[in-house]
Structure 1
Amino acid sequence: MSYRLYVRPLPPFSDPGENPEDRLFNWVLYDAGGDAQAQGSRDRRSTIEQTLSQNGLEGVLLAGLIPGDEALFCTADIPAKQSRFINQALPYAVEEQIAQDIDSVHLALGPHTPEGYRVAAVDRDRMATWLELFRGWSHTRLDAIYPDASLLPMTEGGWSICLDGESTMMASDRGEWLSMQSANLGMFAHTLAVPPSEDVVAEVPVVIYATDTEFEEQQAVLGELMAPGRLSVRRESLALMPLELLAHSHHHHLCRPINLCQREFSVKGGKASPFKPWKPLIAVAAVWFVVQVALEAGMGFYYQQQADDMRQQAMAVYKNAFPNDSRTHAGNVKRVIEGQLRMAGSDGPDVDFVTLMKYTGQQYSEVAGSVTFNSINYSQSRGELVVDVRAQSYDRLSALRNGLSGQGLEAKIGSVVNESSGARGRLTVSGG
């Protein structure tokens, strides 16, 4: 079961990173079913980590909530749809809405709305400090950092307000959020009560969240808020601290916050890869594999070249010994030489009638059935055996001739006549 930990630091916020061990937090732990399993107020980081350890929890997703006034809400009207072009145009689209150098501001992109893209702008140095505050907690993995007011549940067509002591969090149905001093809430109410000149006067729904204690203490402020007649105000009592409202709203998707952990401040999602410690070794192995393949390919090419050179040298030697032989090539020179050596070893330098008949008969037996000998003549003076032969096709005659040539003999076919029943010709065989 996955757990999510919502952590909200308590003021002062002048330097979020100063004395992190002494900083106090409100926190609440939610399980995957949306039930709060544990919570605490004004606890140190070590206390929260100890609670997670005692419950045997690991890899808890941590959502850090920073004051709403740390991040400015703005919109960006960008016609592009590809994220690369959107990120390039984003600083120019919101520059006029931000009262500081745009290069010193971190911009986090939210979802697209009819008014444009929702954007959160936060000082780059402050964002780095907040990231450092929430990162590296034991038993957790930082998942997101949100402006706290952006987690208020949205009120359709109006505003949500949460009283939190001296400060007040507010969010509209457009996704806009802001924080202000509770004492200034009446002035904000009068601003909401004055409709634009082009609009028809209608009630603006406002939902106020607070504990019963807060409602009692802020009676004067609430009176100012409820005075304008255009506001339709509804109260919602909180049993515990406002953080539980924010966590409940986020877990049940009642809000549309913008995660500030983007681009250079992004945090990796998912569990750490089990191969991460082995990455250097894997890189070395990959390099070795590439080098080995390249070496094997190079050696193969080298040996192929050597083999080609050897074949060319062998053919050069053979051509030097048998300059008139045009049928022998590098592919069959070995077989031709072996046949010639066998003939030389068995019959000596002269090839007589018996020897020629022996090899011709052997090749005849290889093609028996498709070749017929009609007559055989032998010329002792020329050392030639002349065979009048008939075959089913000229290919069979060629097969007989090639077989004799493979034995080192000189074989020729002449006077070939193609007939309807096959082919006939004269096979002349000599010692070569």
Structure 2
Amino acid sequence: MTERLVIRLASSASQKNYWLIWSDSENEIIASGEVDNAEQLSTLTEKALQRRVICLLPGVDVCIKKVVIKGAFNRQMQQALPYLVEEELASDVEKLHFNVIAKETHSVHVAICDKQQMHHWLEWLENAQVQCKQFIPEGLTLPLSESGPWQAVQLGEQWLIRETADITWSCDVSMLNTILTSKLTNLADGVSAPRIESYSPIIENAVGQWSAHDAILPMELLAVGTKNNTVNMLTGEFKPAKAANPYIKKWRVPAIVGAILFTVSVINIYSKTLQVQAETELIQQQVETIYSQAFPGESKLKYARIRHKLEVMQKQLQGSSREFDFLTVLNDLSPALTSLKKFQINSLKFDSKKQQLQLALTAPSFQSFETFTTDLPEHLSAEQGALNNSKTGVSGVLTITQK
């Protein structure tokens, strides 16, 4: 992303929040403005799309301290860090968020912020549907001068001061001279008072040595300072989870619905397959039973062997006149018998002399017998005997002959 949306969050929900969109490729401001309160951050929702969002935290809410340590900074030192500065803080360390922003040989610089305040800022952004992965204390985006002067700029009713690479602070306009007097008075012996370079109009009777820099919009100055800035207060319990791909999120529900429909479809197909398989096995068992009844002297054969015999016989009959024998008739009746899903064959009798096959059947209705007769091959005819209706179904005898 070549564009960044930089939002300077306020200390309270009722205060103004400043914002600016900066283009790295064009090296210029795309748009800027302010919103009156936290609720109006929702007006930035669309602007945050497809842009990297960086939030600046007010210096009045973030305290940066230099902490002297002994030995290397490791995991144990990280856990003990809050208690090394506990006496210097007015709040319970358990309610504070500590984030190391710089490490040196015998010291670290740590940024400290109230956990509840961190939750408030994250809640504002969540309500506005603005995703932000980086919180930077505002003072750490001010320019860093190699010659040593402090950098200063006024944003709204507050002044932002950067003393060194890792020490910054902010205060209300009314408190600026008071804090400067305290800091300059406490300088070590032999250390001259630093010059303060201002990017905003210098206030009257300002304490210290001030010099004016070329005027620049405060938010532009801070936005430029966010480039390649690695400081991030969103660590530990505030570390953001990996955001889902917006395209995946967009198509997640349709994909789930499609997967459910596909699963249901597969289940239906599988159920129907099982049903057809069960019906096929039943018909095969009936064929084996009929064959055993017709040829009691032969060994019992499975359906596959019976089918093979019928196919061989059918090939032998090709090109010759059709004969009316048991196996041939049984093969011709296969399609009609297969359609009789709820028929029960009670008995059959084949009379080679009369050239007829009698089937004693039980069906669920009278219409079933008519359907069976209709499904017979053209060269066969069926004579229907008397039909009896009982609790178990409609039973009767069909006499199959060749036309």
Specify the code of the residue in structure 2 equivalent to 1:250.
T
Which residue is 2:27 aligned to? 35
**Residues 342-369 of structure 1: per-residue CA shift (max 9 Å, x gap):** xxxxxxxxxxxxxxxxxxxxxxxxxxxx
Percent identical:
22
TM-score (norm 2): 0.53
Matched, 1:206 2:179: no
Specify the code of the residue in structure 2 equivalent to 1:267.
P
> Is the contact made by 1:80 and 1:86 (CA closer than 8 Å) also made in structure 2?
no
Which residue is 1:5 aligned to? 5
- Mark the CA change 1:115 to 1:83 in structure 2 (over 3 Å): closer, same or farther: closer
**Residues 82-141 of structure 1: per-residue CA shift (max 9 Å, x gap):** 642232222222212211111111111212035611111111111111121224654x53
Match of 1:106 among 97, 110, 118: 97
Which residue is 1:238 aligned to? 215
Which residue is 1:46 aligned to? 42
- Mark the CA change 1:83 to 1:4 in structure 2 (over 3 Å): closer, same or farther: farther
Matches within 5 A, 1:7-406: 7-10=7-10, 13-14=11-12, 16=13, 24-33=16-25, 35-43=27-35, 44-51=40-47, 57-58=49-50, 60-79=51-70, 81=72, 83-114=74-105, 116-135=107-126, 137-138=128-129, 141-156=131-146, 157-194=148-185, 196=187, 198-199=189-190, 201-210=191-200, 215=201, 219-220=203-204, 223-225=205-207, 228=208, 231=209, 233-240=210-217, 242-251=218-227, 253=229, 258-268=231-241, 272=245
CA RMSD of aligned residues (A): 3.2
- The separation in 1 between residues aligned to 2:69 and 2:126, in whole angstroms, is 32
Specify the code of the residue in structure 2 equivalent to 1:33.
S
Specify the code of the residue in structure 1 equivalent to 2:86.
E
> Is the contact made by 2:97 and 2:115 (CA closer than 8 Å) also made in structure 1?
yes
- Mark the CA change 1:273 to 1:49 in structure 2 (over 3 Å): closer, same or farther: closer
Q: CA deviation at 1:165?
A: 3.9
- The separation in 1 between residues aligned to 2:248 and 2:72, in whole angstroms, is 35
> Is the contact made by 1:104 and 1:123 (CA closer than 8 Å) also made in structure 2?
yes
Segment of structure 1 superposing worse, 188-197 or 165-174: 188-197
Q: CA deviation at 1:246?
A: 0.7
SS of alignment partner, residue 224 of structure 1: coil
**Residues 380-405 of structure 1: per-residue CA shift (max 9 Å, x gap):** xxxxxxxxxxxxxxxxxxxxxxxxxx
**Residues 276-331 of structure 1: per-residue CA shift (max 9 Å, x gap):** 979xx9xxxxxxxxxxxxxxxxxxxxxxxxxxxxxxxxxxxxxxxxxxxxxxxxxx
- Mark the CA change 1:94 to 1:34 in structure 2 (over 3 Å): closer, same or farther: farther
Q: CA deviation at 1:158?
A: 3.5
Matched residues, number:
247
- The separation in 2 between residues aligned to 1:147 and 1:197, in whole angstroms, is 27
Specify the code of the residue in structure 2 equivalent to 1:262.
T
Specify the code of the residue in structure 2 equivalent to 1:45.
L
Which ranges of structure 1 fall in alignment gaps of 5 or more residues? 282-432
- Mark the CA change 1:81 to 1:136 in structure 2 (over 3 Å): closer, same or farther: farther
- Mark the CA change 1:238 to 1:116 in structure 2 (over 3 Å): closer, same or farther: same
> Is the contact made by 2:125 and 2:131 (CA closer than 8 Å) also made in structure 1?
no
> Is the contact made by 2:82 and 2:93 (CA closer than 8 Å) also made in structure 1?
yes
Q: CA deviation at 1:72?
A: 1.1
- The separation in 1 between residues aligned to 2:246 and 2:81, in whole angstroms, is 33
SS of alignment partner, residue 206 of structure 2: helix
- Mark the CA change 1:114 to 1:87 in structure 2 (over 3 Å): closer, same or farther: closer
> Is the contact made by 2:21 and 2:31 (CA closer than 8 Å) also made in structure 1?
yes
Which residue is 1:323 aligned to? none
**Residues 130-184 of structure 1: per-residue CA shift (max 9 Å, x gap):** 121224654x531111222232222343421112343211111141121112233
SS of alignment partner, residue 232 of structure 2: coil
> Is the contact made by 1:170 and 1:177 (CA closer than 8 Å) also made in structure 2?
yes
Specify the code of the residue in structure 1 equivalent to 2:225.
S
